[in-house]
A = this chain, B = another copy of it.
Amino acid sequence: MHAVTYELIKKDEKTKARRGRIHTPHGDIETPVFMPVGTAATVKAMRPEEVKELGASIILSNTYHLYLRPGHELVREAGGLHKFMNWDRAILTDSGGFQVFSLGDLRKISEEGVAFRSHIDGSKHFFTPEKSIEVQNALGSDIIMAFDECAPYPAERDYIKRSLERTTRWLARCKEAHKNTETQSLFGIMQGGMYQDLRHQSAMEIVEMDLPGYAIGGLSVGEPKDVMYEVLDYCVDYLPENKPRYLMGVGSPDCLFEGVERGIDMFDCVLPTRIARNGMAMTSGGRVSIKNAQYERDFSPLDAECDCYTCKNYSRAYLRHLFKSNEILSSMLLTNHNLHFLVNMMGKIRESIEEDRFSEYKKSFYAKYGRF
């Protein structure tokens, strides 16, 4: 029995969308779900109670960042990541792979692992599948991710094939290294770029290992959205129905709808929190850049249809004033709103699947949101 299990509740009649529930040692997660990102053991500009209040049941934290600062051994000594950051719901940690591969000239890949330099102080480090799992075991997150290579786009077929095969070998090493199977569950990651046969090959190899969940990696790396959707169309069919499916690094409303429609259960992205700090809000009428002069004397709420703390208590004029004045409260209020917007949207998506009207809900959402 895995620490994390998936329960399929209902399948949509017209699409591959599905309503499910993931059981974890830190509570249940209703799916499809959006996971707010808390990179450095904090969802930026939010108290954890506020993240809970808006309905998030799981957050993502980054292994690469926590390994470098404050260090995974320190987090272990603190009693694990949940206790350290005062978050008692589920946590998923990534493997650090995506970050170290993103370092460009600062890293070097071999069969053994990846040598890299810290973006903080330039110090030298070596990450291997074993090391990534050791770090994640120390952090104590409920879901831990395999150490993989997220290949760039575009990339030659040969490179993608070699890369995915190494990712499979690394996954076997991750599984072997994983110590805390009773409290943490390891998810595998499918690679294969934009090549259908390679996606199929990757899926066959990782599904064989019978892991409690699978992610689709290597998407949202610069390819056009319709290419991503096309890849998703076939990818999901290669994954088992009784395991959760996680599309990594995707968080714009349209990508969430399109992902759900293709059978994805889990999403994460820094988008809602990052754009909030830049004064950008997601609203039922589309994106709002709060610094625009048109909101100077707009005393209406950010989103009249929203019942979040920000929209219940503040006007666009006030939010604009805070942003223009570089006030921290600006980031706090916009982050709260954007996370509420996506988490609430996912709740409505779940409801629409339960009531067999997912496609209708998607259509009405798109009509109001306008351009993405």
Could you list which residues of chain A lie within 8 angstroms of chain B, going by C-beta atoms? Answer: 40-42, 44-47, 69-70, 74, 77-79, 84-86, 296-297, 299, 309, 313-315, 317-318, 320-322, 324-325, 327-329, 331-332
Contacts and interface: CB of A to CB of B under 8 A. Distances in A.
Nearest to A320: B70
A290 to B, nearest CB: 13
A113 to B, nearest CB: 25
Contacts of A320: 70
A86 B311 CA distance: 12
A42 B74 CA distance: 35
Contacts of A327: 40, 42, 44
B321 A40 contact: yes
A329 B299 contact: no
A257 to B, nearest CB: 30
A322 B42 contact: yes
Contacts of A325: 40, 69
Question: Chain A contact residues: over half helix, strand or loop, or mixed?
Answer: loop
Copies in the complex: 2
A79 B314 CA distance: 12
B315 A84 contact: yes
Contacts of A46: 329
A309 B313 CA distance: 22
Given A74-B296, A77-B299, A328 B332 contact: yes
B69 A324 contact: yes
Contacts of A84: 315, 317-318
Given A327-B40, A332-B328, A317 B74 contact: yes
Contacts of A328: 44-45, 328, 331-332
B321 A70 contact: yes
A328 B276 CA distance: 13
Contact of A317 (B44, B78, B314, B324): B78
Contacts of A329: 42, 44-47
